[in-house]
Amino acid sequence: METNKETGTRIDEIASGIFRISTPVPPAEMPGGFTFNQYLIVDDAPLLYHTGTRRLFPLVQEAIASVIPPHSLRYIGFSHYEADECGSLNDFLEVAPKAEPLCSTIAKMVTIDDIATRPAHALADGEELSLGTHVVRWIDTPHLPHAWECGHLFEKTTQTLFCGDLFTQSGHEHDPLTTGDILENSEGMRDAMDYFSQTRRVHELIEKLALTSPQVLACMHGSAWQGDGASLLRQLAGRLAA
């Protein structure tokens, strides 16, 4: 584990070759405290999933540099178009000359090919991409939890689901990886912030994610979680139905 002593930004391996970068935001800056996480898959073609906001760029870059040279990044992936997901996309494209934005076909068509300094590499629903040892699969989940272009990435060899804003937890002090409950915290956030869309397809889309049988849920806010991911996703579906 490497930590920036000033900001508390840390990087920890949470599955084989998969690193969680996390920056805490104390309660004085955001009520209740919060965290912004990015994930780095170290492989022949290294992939950064989520960039963090532009303000976080130096910290995320520094954390990556403690593991691999940032210029070696090959893909900059993200669930949907928001500042914490891809705010510093162009900064990373500048640092890493071979990197491509990696996103859904809708994200490429609607937004990314306009705002990014290089064209996006879009993945269709179910399409797989080999990074060397790791293999990622894109799963379209429009509007789950929000944004038309939204999708989630699944890494097959470690059975890690990069589940983005699903299971968003409040607080700024979290273990990198936990087997404890994250659902009650994230349900509290859903209640307070109302960040889920009202898509009619919510159950079908959550089931699509559950069918990957994830063993690790790489959450964007809070701890990553280890356990029976399909069961936890179905519990979430039950809460959304209530």
**Residue 84 binds Fe ion, judged by CB under 5 A:** yes
Give me the least distance between CB of 37 and Fe ion, in Å please: 9
**Cα–Cα distance for residue pair 40/70, rounded to 1 Å:** 10
**Residue 155 binds Fe ion, judged by CB under 5 A:** no
- By beta-carbon proximity to Fe ion, the closer residue of 83 and 129 is 83
Q: Which stretch binds Fe ion (CB under 5 A): 17-25, 62-70, 198-206, 218-226?
A: 218-226
**Residue 82 binds Fe ion, judged by CB under 5 A:** yes
Q: DSSP assignment of 130-176, as one string?
A: E-SS-EEEEEE-TTSSS-TT-EEEEETTTTEEEEETTT----S---S
Give me the least distance between CB of 84 and Fe ion, in Å please: 5
Whose CA is closest to 219, among 163, 143, 160?
163
- By beta-carbon proximity to Fe ion, the closer residue of 145 and 229 is 145
Q: Which stretch binds Fe ion (CB under 5 A): 10-18, 19-27, 94-102, 165-173?
A: 165-173
Secondary structure in 3-state letters for 71-109: HHCCEEECCCCCHHHHCCHHHHHHHCCCCEEEEEHHHHH
**Angle, CA 192 vertex, CA 190 and CA 196 arms, to 5°:** 35
**Residue 165 binds Fe ion, judged by CB under 5 A:** yes
Give me the least distance between CB of 175 and Fe ion, in Å please: 19
**Residue 140 binds Fe ion, judged by CB under 5 A:** no
Three-class secondary structure of residue 70 per DSSP: helix
**Residue 220 binds Fe ion, judged by CB under 5 A:** yes
Q: Which residues have C-beta within 8 Å of that of residue 64, sequence separation ≥ 6? A: 11, 21, 40, 48, 70, 73
Q: Which stretch binds Fe ion (CB under 5 A): 22-30, 60-68, 125-133, 158-166?
A: 158-166
**Residue 12 binds Fe ion, judged by CB under 5 A:** no
- By beta-carbon proximity to Fe ion, the closer residue of 140 and 165 is 165
DSSP assigned state of 12? E
- By beta-carbon proximity to Fe ion, the closer residue of 46 and 87 is 87
Residue at 213: amino acid letter: S
Give me the least distance between CB of 170 and Fe ion, in Å please: 13
> Both tokens of residue 84?
């914490």
Interface contacts to Fe ion, rule CB under 5 A: 82, 84, 165, 220
